[in-house]
Structure 1
Amino acid sequence: MAPQPAFHLLGCDFSSSPTRRKPIVLALGHRQGARVVLTALQPFDTLAAFGQWLAQPGDWVGGFDLPFGLPRELVQALGWPTSWHACMQHYRHLGREQIRAQFAAFCDARPVGGKFAHRATDGPAGSSPSMKWVNPPVAYMLHAGLPLLLDAGVHLPGLHAGDPRRVALEAYPGLLAREVLQRRSYKSDDRAKQTPDRLIARKDLVNALELGQTRLGLRLKLSHAQRDALVQDASGDSLDAVLCLLQAAWAQQRHAEGDALYGLPPGLDPLEGWIVTADKP
């Protein structure tokens, strides 16, 4: 494995079925006061390679774009364990078809307009319910990604004690992107939808991040080549990883100021978890 560049922060755009064409992307960097310097973008085209990387000794705070928990309402309705670790161990040993069947049956028994159960963080974050198995398949992202974090022994504030030098937080790039772009779309995996308007939106988003024009109060520091790479990646995967990097930097800053929960709300549900930088309940 190649030597790693120096970094203390990471942002992860996660895929539950990574390939060379659609890899997991890590944005590595470090914070200098209110500046966040992007060091490198690193792709992984298999879950195994990503898991091996996570398990290495390190000293970082990371924002990961995948859910870290399921809605309490869903877990109770299915009769699953309501302690987080036991629930996740149960969940990881299910197959995707079992997950889809049980979640679909739960939805089928509910009224139109309220099919899915939500976590408390979904409203403030504007995130999809973590039980969704399509568009986007975040239930499968949880199923594929969370076991890698557990097996790597990292620390999950508010949920699970692990190595305090490797800290993983649930992030959501859409939360920060919407603050800048409102309803404008900036990415698509469909080539036919990789339009000039989305290119302009990525330029606007990168420009706003460099100027520190978000409520996080952090400015992104890029080289010219890095800026070009983020703008030209029409899938948005690299930019999403960088948005998660900034959320991790905000959390690291809170911890440096004495917050043991890295900016997560003290009253968070220890089964559901919370998206970092989402407004507190």
Structure 2
Amino acid sequence: MVDFFTHPFMVRALVVGTLLSALSGYYGVFVVQRKMSFLGAGLGHAAFGGIALGLFLGVQPLWVALPFTVLVAIGISWIRRQTLLSSDTVIGIFFSVSVALGILLLSLKSGRSVDAFSYLFGSILAIDTLDIAATITLSAIAIASSLSLWGPWAYATFDPEAAKLEGIHTGRHDMILTSLIALTIVVAIKVVGVLLVAAWIVVPAATARLISTSFRGMTLVSVGVSILATLVGLMGSWMLDLPSGALIVLVQILIFVPSVIYQSAKR
């Protein structure tokens, strides 16, 4: 265990993983309660398109993926409100376009498949000081927004029509929330990978939903489960030399299963 903390890359992984897992657990409750679990997959694959664009242009992928994914998130939110299309339909369209764009750009840029691999499956070795800076900045934004926006977000989550009547700009709040989720997903991709980032957000919130009696309690449990699973997964990744994302999600599932049994026993 002592050796674990002597490696700089593991310290970076712990800092980034802990902060991001807290954010994903926090935002996950809104995703689950709004029945938009596919959003994580859609934005994760949108981030893949942005990462591929960054690799194609030869610039830092994070700087391209962040605005790219936020624009996709805003587009999803806007089209969902302006048309009769369901959330899953809109997300699925952006999902497909982003993946197609990513595949096309990577095929045009030779020698980048190895770089893309670490983004697909997550790698604690890929976490650098830029990721720490981005994570700390994102955490500060999340804390600041939560202090003033958690109430309106929660209200709009459970009763959007009543929230509108109370003068809450649900459309604007929806865009802000979706954009913050997008930012969290982009930064988290190096830890868990594009393919598993959706589960990383949804599973802790789903676990909390089964054992909590209030939205506030659900939020706290979701954050706790997310942090615990991430720490255990990162340690296991280091000791077993396995992809961090896969282990983190498997630990989440191991926590989720007893919550299902608990919920079933109460019925």
TM-score by length of 1: 0.33
Higher helix share: 2
**TM-score in terms of structure 2 length:** 0.34
Between Structure 1 and Structure 2, which shows a larger proportion of strand residues?
1
- The higher relative CO (CA closer than 8 Å, separation ≥ 6) is in 2
